[in-house]
């Protein structure tokens, strides 16, 4: 199973990001951006993200959600417990990959 296959093929709510942090697949999941959206099934306002930094084991990845799903924009292999530089590198790559003014479409 690939890293991205554990993510739904849509932007994630803040509740889903929190659940990923509790799951075994990742050590840390950090939203890079958050924005307000409306869940289509019940018209409930939710906060979502289309940009994440994922950390697990000996790597960190920056990922963004696009029309065809999640895409890795940066991958950094790490040694030991110091992930700080890798997290910052991936966050910067995610910010560079995002276009100003993009809005999330949340179909759940």
Note down the domain range covering 69: 4-97
Residue 78 domain-assigned (yes or no): yes
Residue of 61, 52, 62 lying closest to 11 (CA atoms):
52
**Alpha-carbon gap, residue 47 to 35, rounded angstroms:** 5
**Alpha-carbon gap, residue 90 to 68, rounded angstroms:** 21
Domain count along the chain: 1
What pLDDT is stored for residue 2 in this prediction?
65
Residue 106 domain-assigned (yes or no): no
In the predicted model, residues of the chain with pLDDT beneath 70 are 1-2, 38-40, 81, 99-108
Residue 61 domain-assigned (yes or no): yes
pTM score: 0.81
What pLDDT is stored for residue 67 in this prediction?
87
The neighbouring-strand residues paired with 76 are 60
């Amino acid at each position: 199973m690939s890293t991205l296959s554990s993510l739904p093929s849509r932007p994630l709510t803040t509740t889903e990001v929190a659940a990923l942090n509790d799951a075994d697949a990742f050590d840390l999941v950090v939203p890079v951006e958050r924005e307000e959206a409306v869940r289509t099934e019940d018209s409930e306002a939710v906060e979502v993200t289309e940009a994440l930094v994922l950390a697990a084991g000996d790597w960190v990845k920056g990922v963004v959600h696009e029309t065809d799903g999640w895409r890795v924009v940066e991958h950094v292999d790490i040694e030991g417990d110091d992930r700080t530089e890798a997290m910052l590198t991936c966050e910067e790559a995610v910010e560079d990959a995002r276009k100003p003014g993009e809005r999330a479409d949340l179909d759940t």
